[in-house]
Amino acid sequence: MRRRKYVEFEGDDGTTLRYARHANGGGFVERTARAHPTAWIAPGAYVDPGARVGAEAHLDDGAWIDRGAVVAATARIGKNTHIGANAVIGRGARVRDGAKVASGVRVADFAVVDPDTIVTADLTAA
Give the model confidence (pLDDT) of 57-95 as tens digits.
999 999 999 999 999 999 999 999 999 999 999 999 999
Residue 10: the pLDDT is: 85
Tell me the residue type at 8.
E
Statement: residue 4 has pLDDT above 70: no
The CATH topology of domain 6-119 is UDP N-Acetylglucosamine Acyltransferase; domain 1 (2.160.10)
d(CA 104, CA 119): 11
Sequence-distant (6+) residues with CB within 8 A of 73 are 36, 54, 55, 56, 57, 91, 92
Residue 29 CB contacts under 8 Å (≥ 6 apart), including other chains? 19, 20, 21, 22, 35, 41, 47, 53
Per-residue pLDDT at 13: 85
Q: Would the pTM count as exceeding 0.95? A: no
Structural domain boundaries of the chain? 6-119
Residue 120: per-residue pLDDT: 95
